[in-house]
Structure 1
């Protein structure tokens, strides 16, 4: 794929021959055949460890607890990549550059931005320091920061408590105390003090009825539970539980929402930018 892309750019240079398009193609070819570009490509390949998390969060059937475990394990793998992955990555990049006749800079020399007449020194740091800390570590830290921001301790607790409403496996995770804590801590303004007391009674009755109900096995998610409450009009009887279920389904990080993770890489005359974003 890399060789084909370089060949395509070269073909554009030959075909156009002159003018602005040739200049743009020349610049693109220079960027694509630079050590820095190859390094970024390999970093993106290593970041494939986030792919399973991204795919899982896009599945509507994904339950909350499994999503939490995936987030936690992905953060562990990313941190391990940061701590132990640099040497292996560098060897892969050097081998790739050797196979494709790409110039490899001396790692002990000072890093220089750009190529040709656009070359500029950067703060007197070595190539090794720049590539490892300003590119590799910075990209990983960006991902870890984003995951910590999206799934901080408070959000993890909210998701954990919400999982008590998950009807999978006949409400295996159903815990009255956790559901009551969910209401008290995260939805205090949505229930009066009297309603909070009534909620406990509703939860006890609701759980007993659910254990005897023949339609339980077809409920696979909190959204299924919400739909079932509406279709059977049980939501009118268990109106406090129905209200809570609807509140949980409005979570900005609800597993029902679709997510996509992607990298954007841009090379310009000033610096290399590697950005990672998770779209909710």
Structure 2
């Protein structure tokens, strides 16, 4: 594939039938294709994506078992960490062999030579070798960034909350249902949603729930936690197991909370301009709320806002209706 791509770019670069701009783009791409940086990064990312591909496919599969997905996350982290710690020599040898086979050996730098970098020299940083640059600045840094991203996306809190949702998921026949673990996670992540008295009774309510609901005729074929919550409400069992029902509803708000947080960070890039950096935090927070929840904000009319503002306190000037 590499030779085929190189051949196509070479032909386009000298083909007078294509535009000058296209020949220039092809020539530029060809020069980058023949660099050692391109070959090295190509092999590094290929190896990295081999580790993450299975995880990406598993997370996109809607009906995938969450516990299996979390095990795959842990396995992916371990594989990348092992590659980071002991994969450098093998990767470098593979890249050098590739360069030799594809007639790019002349572009291979001497790993013991000094790495020349304009930014590094201007900042008076320590002089490093080529090997240090590719091993530390490129290889190790990339692996660390990938591990950081996985740890941020799948932190201990996120993983345990997903496991908690799986424990109460009826799709597997409640085979992961564990009263002690559910109570522990509920107390750990929802301490303000249950009083001490309720935390004590949650255990016994879960035990009754486990011996009742899975055996109920109308609740045997449920496949999602959402269906379970709806079925509890429709059957009236939410009144029999109010603490379990509350816990299920809290779990169901997790995707909404995550989505709202992501929307908030996306909105910050648009709303928080250099001019608005001078705003007070309270004012900016209110502004963001209106921007993020614009679908709800559109339902309010200007007249209703004026009426509410006018009713807050007596004002010197009468507002026009």
TM-score range relative to shorter protein: 0.7 to 0.9
SS class of match (1:111): coil
* Residue correspondence of structure 1 range 1-280 to structure 2 within 5 A: 1-15=1-15, 19-47=20-48, 48-102=50-104, 103-112=107-116, 124-193=127-196, 195-197=198-200, 199-214=202-217, 218-226=221-229, 228-229=231-232, 232=235, 234-235=237-238, 237-252=240-255
State the Cα distance separating 1:10 from its structure 2 match: 2.2
Larger radius of gyration: 2
The answer to whether the 8 Å contact 1:10/1:25 transfers is yes
What CA distance in whole angstroms lies between the structure 1 residues aligned with 2:230 and 2:35?
Answer: 55
Instruction: Quickly say closer, same or farther: Cα 1:10–1:243, change in 2 above 3 A.
Output: farther
The answer to whether the 8 Å contact 2:219/2:231 transfers is no
What CA distance in whole angstroms lies between the structure 2 residues aligned with 1:25 and 1:96?
Answer: 22
| Structure 1 unpaired stretches of 5+ | 115-119, 255-280
SS class of match (1:172): coil
The superposition leaves residues 5-54 of structure 1 with CA deviations (integer Å, 9 ceiling, x where unpaired) of: 22332233223578554333322211111111011111111111111111
What CA distance in whole angstroms lies between the structure 2 residues aligned with 1:200 and 1:83?
Answer: 44
State the Cα distance separating 1:67 from its structure 2 match: 2.0
Instruction: Quickly say closer, same or farther: Cα 1:211–1:225, change in 2 above 3 A.
Output: closer
The answer to whether the 8 Å contact 1:32/1:38 transfers is yes
Larger strand share, 1 or 2 = 1
Instruction: Quickly say closer, same or farther: Cα 1:252–1:36, change in 2 above 3 A.
Output: farther
State the Cα distance separating 1:98 from its structure 2 match: 1.2
The answer to whether the 8 Å contact 1:78/1:140 transfers is yes
| Structure 2 unpaired stretches of 5+ | 258-321
The superposition leaves residues 201-229 of structure 1 with CA deviations (integer Å, 9 ceiling, x where unpaired) of: 43222111134235666444534534544
What CA distance in whole angstroms lies between the structure 2 residues aligned with 1:224 and 1:32?
Answer: 53
Instruction: Quickly say closer, same or farther: Cα 1:129–1:240, change in 2 above 3 A.
Output: same
Instruction: Quickly say closer, same or farther: Cα 1:172–1:112, change in 2 above 3 A.
Output: same
Given the two structures, how large is their TM-score scaled by the length of structure 2? 0.66
RMSD (Å) for aligned C-alpha atoms = 3.2
What CA distance in whole angstroms lies between the structure 2 residues aligned with 1:205 and 1:178?
Answer: 16
The answer to whether the 8 Å contact 1:169/1:217 transfers is no
State the Cα distance separating 1:96 from its structure 2 match: 1.2
SS class of match (1:249): helix
SS class of match (2:192): helix
State the Cα distance separating 1:240 from its structure 2 match: 3.4
The answer to whether the 8 Å contact 2:51/2:80 transfers is yes
Given the two structures, how large is their TM-score scaled by the length of structure 1? 0.75
Larger helix share, 1 or 2 = 2
**Aligned counterpart, 2:278:** none
SS class of match (2:15): helix
The superposition leaves residues 101-157 of structure 1 with CA deviations (integer Å, 9 ceiling, x where unpaired) of: 11211111122469xxxxx99963222111111111111111111112222333333
Q: Which has the higher contact order (CA 8 A, sep 6+)?
A: 1
